Amino acid sequence: RIHRMSLGWAAGVALTLQRLQADGRTDEQFAREELFDYFASQVLHASPVETQEFLKCTALLPTISGEMADALLGRKNSDDVLEELYRKGAFIDRRSARPASYQYHDLFRAFLLVQLERSKTPEEFQRLQIAAACELERAGHADHAVRLYLQAGDMQSAARLILAIAPSLLMQG
> pLDDT, tens digit, for every residue of 32-63?
666 666 766 677 888 899 999 999 999 999 99
Average pLDDT over residues 102-107: 89
* pLDDT attached to residue 108: 85
Q: CA–CA separation, 130 vs 126, rounded Å?
A: 6
Q: Is the pLDDT of residue 128 over 60?
A: yes
The answer, yes or no, to whether residue 73 has pLDDT greater than 90, is yes
Confidence (pLDDT) at 42: 77
Q: Is the pLDDT of residue 109 over 70?
A: yes
Q: Do 78 and 66 contact (CB within 8 A), yes or no? A: yes
pLDDT value of position 75: 93
Which helix (DSSP H) or strand (DSSP E) does residue 114 occupy?
Answer: helix 106-119
